[in-house]
Structure 1
């Protein structure tokens, strides 16, 4: 099955703080990646109640359906590849079963008929390898909002915490409790309604 444990640490940034980190690490030398997340939910917010999130991500002309679920070490991600045609059908609320993700959804008591499309969030991303972690700067746009975020993806909790704290300290940026993108997207959606 296509699954992985994601261990990541996040910190929201101001635009000025984003620029500080951009100068601190070699982000100028890496390509800008644009990716769009298309979010889905069950009518009774069953995914949210389980702490889970379902999205399709378009990145480099590849479409991936991903279910994120809480895991003791981070997040359990379950993936299925989609064609562009399949992704577009999903966005039109014409979902089709994909093996890996639907096995996990079934375990949560969620069926394909429960799902509906919520909206999208586009991120302009830069990534660099730093001290055996991946350090990411994100500029995200959704509804009438935009935000800036530092992410550190690591192979362990210890390594991730160490690197994010080191970067924040070096750039004189306070640690902030930071919701993940889907939670920020939900808040913006509710505020826009």
Structure 2
């Protein structure tokens, strides 16, 4: 799939709350997935100004370049597959053109040549299907930070909201305004400079 609309809900968790959700749903029987996001931006933060984010994600042995942009229903994600060699060139700021993502960047008025590598965030993830939604438990590590997060991806805003609220209520966890991973990564990066 080269483009998709992502409808997701997030809630940061404490380590104890993470454990509660882990035991509330059958996460113990699910394989642990480790993935790393490599983030890119322009010097003048043009992506951020558009509410967009650009990353390469390494998951298993697959490398995917993804541009996330605001969309009325959630986020529009545009994907291009990279080889490991292409991904490594990107991380060295030697960008290999990829048609779908580059087209979207240019539509935003962003010159891909202005992009540079910012850093990475590694996530240990467990995911399972629950009540028609994908429920994800993440433990992320970046700079000197670590955090725990519950994510719910659903086909509609109503079903996603219903599933995350059910899990939070069942595990006695308060709803929290939660920034996405790239925003949390940026905050940690600024602190470290």
Q: Which category describes the TM-score, using the shorter chain as reference length?
A: over 0.9
Unaligned runs of 5+ in 2: none
The number of equivalent residue pairs is 193
| C-alpha distance in 1 between matches for 2:52 and 2:124 | 24
Shift in Å, 1:43 = 1.4
Structure 1 portions without partners, runs of 5+: none
2:80 is matched with which residue? 80
The equivalent of 1:149 in structure 2 is 149
Q: TM-score, normalised by structure 2?
A: 0.99
Report the counterpart of residue 22 of structure 1 in structure 2. 22
CA distance in 1: counterparts of 2:92 and 2:70, whole angstroms = 28
CA distance in 2: counterparts of 1:50 and 1:24, whole angstroms = 38
Please give the TM-score of this superposition, normalised by the length of structure 1: 0.99
Counterparts in 2 of 1:54-133, with a 5 A limit? Answer: 54-133=54-133
The answer on 1:47 being equivalent to 2:47 is yes
CA shift, 1:96, in A, is 1.4
Alignment map for 1:1-16 (pairs within 5 Å): 2-16=2-16
- 1:17-60 Cα offsets, whole Å, 9 max, x none, are 00000000000001000000000001110000000000000001
CA-based RMSD of the aligned residues comes to 0.6
SS of 1:175 mapped into structure 2: coil
Do the aligned residues in 1 keep the contact of 2:106 with 2:112 (CA within 8 Å)?
no
Q: Which runs of 4+ in 1 moved over 6 A?
A: none
Deviation at 1:2, TM superposition (A): 0.9
Whole-Å separation in 1 of the counterparts to 2:109 and 2:42: 11
